[in-house]
Amino acid sequence: MNRAAVVQYFTTNEGAQRNRELVEDVLRELAAREPGGLDYQVLLFDDGQGFMHVVAFDGTTDPFGDCAAHHEFHRELAGRLTTPPVVMHATLIGSYHGRQPAS
């Protein structure tokens, strides 16, 4: 069974760029490590301050447990936020990956 989570939050105007940089660090580290069984996407809302993380993974092991960049992302997250994150857990029914995101 694939587990999934969706996390939505909004940053301060000042924290948005730093948040994006930290997200990109996580994505680079995951690409280098290739942990397998993980589908992770991060969306930036048009307002430039809203973020949504969508993660689906196989198994019960935390796919971010050994990711130093993920730990750094969370280290001062509260200081970048305007409201607490909304976290929703789900079961993945299926997915389609037809194209890569634009750079």
Dump pLDDT digits (tens) for 91-101. 888 877 765 65
Residues 6+ apart with CB under 8 A from 70: 26, 29, 64
Q: Express each pLDDT in 62-90 by its tens digit.
A: 888 899 999 999 999 999 999 999 999 99
Cα–Cα distance, 89 to 77 (Å, whole number): 20
The mean predicted confidence, pLDDT, of the chain is 90
Cα–Cα distance, 39 to 63 (Å, whole number): 10
Six token digits for residue 33: 């490590």
Predicted structure pTM score: 0.87
| Domains of the chain, CATH where assigned | 2-91 (3.30.70.100)
> What is the gyration radius of the CA atoms in the chain, in angstroms?
14
Indicate the residue type of 53. H
Six token digits for residue 29: 């580290």
